[in-house]
Amino acid sequence: MQLYGGIEAGGTKFVCAIGDNTGKILERARIDTTVPEDTMPKVIDFFQQIHAKTPLAAIGISSFGPVDLDIKSPTYGYITTAPKSGWDQFDFVGTLKAALNLPIGFDTDVNGAAIGEARWGNGKGVDSLVYWTVGTGIGAGGILYGKMMHGLIHPEMGHTFIPHDTVHDPFAGICPFHGDCLEGLASGPALMERWGVKSAVDLPDGHEAWDLEAKYLGYAMANCVMTISPQKIIIGGGVMQKKGLLQMVREKTLEFLNNYIKHDSILEDIDNYIVAPGLGHNSGVCGAFALAEQALHVPS
């Protein structure tokens, strides 16, 4: 049985965990994301302590970003233009490798969650899937024909543009780069600002916020079906914990696709086509184990 280290690195916290090749989490720790000089020694210490007793085969990282995933680039394994101060141009892979000397797998948080779901969650058995998170930000990653979705950099589907009827919804959006991109209109903080609440949790059932949210996410899912044609879409993130929202998004997606994509998975079985994460909150950290497992085959 191989043991893997996994890191789900977010703007608020790092979840560090130890897992095995069944995706089971054996140990975990939460470390606050402050600055690299403070956070990284704690992360390294967690793994060093365990590795000294029970050797780890590799470590995987699902990271916030944008990140450099180009193995040929001099800044491979870096967080490049992080919105979180102090993490800009941080050599994530190099720092861990120098301290632990293990194979390191590295990818975006959403690509990590996608591979976690593909390996052990609701993406088992398909070779093209997209994983979305709708939380503090909106992002998507995935696997296409069995390979991680990389390209020039990696997809940033949370920042795509969707129809915004400014008469019905005059809110300008909060994305610092694009204003009313999908994330600018439909992330948790966008809900908070548009509706003047402290948390999206405070928006009650039946509030018009949820119809509008489902509409924007429905546009995004319809676009996703038509551009990528995944065999499955998984939507996680805090905002999706709103009861009933996933079903509303499915309905809007069907409405916007308008019977154009003639496939039974969509027309007859949307409940199994657009789904919640099978691993719940653990898609990212289990995905990090899967990235570690991959790194054993393609060492970085």
Backbone angles phi, psi at 175, to 5 degrees: -70, 125
User: Interface residues for Zn ion in 192-221 (CB under 5 A)?
Assistant: none
Is residue 150 a contact residue for Zn ion (CB under 5 A)? Answer: no
Is residue 201 a contact residue for ligand ADP (CB under 6 A)? Answer: yes
Nearer of residues 60 and 158 to Zn ion, judged by Cβ: 158
User: Interface residues for ligand ADP in 168-197 (CB under 6 A)?
Assistant: 188-189
Q: Which does 188 bind (CB under 5 to 8 A by kind): Zn ion, ligand ADP, none?
A: ligand ADP
Asked whether 3 and 54 are in contact (CB, 8 A), the reply is yes
User: Interface residues for ligand ADP in 12-31 (CB under 6 A)?
Assistant: 12
Sort strands 13-20 and 3-9 into parallel, antiparallel or unpaired.
Answer: antiparallel
Asked whether 188 and 155 are in contact (CB, 8 A), the reply is no
Q: Which of 175, 186, 220, 257 binds Zn ion (CB under 5 A)?
A: 175
Backbone angles phi, psi at 148, to 5 degrees: -60, 145
Euclidean distance between the first and final Cα of the chain, in Å?
Answer: 22
Is residue 247 a contact residue for ligand ADP (CB under 6 A)? Answer: no
Is residue 178 a contact residue for Zn ion (CB under 5 A)? Answer: yes
Q: Which residue is nearest to ligand ADP (CB)?
A: 188
Is residue 181 a contact residue for Zn ion (CB under 5 A)? Answer: yes
Distance of CA 116 to the CA centre of its chain: 10
CA distance 274 to 78: 32
- List residues near Zn ion by CB under 5 A: 159, 175, 177-178, 181, 183
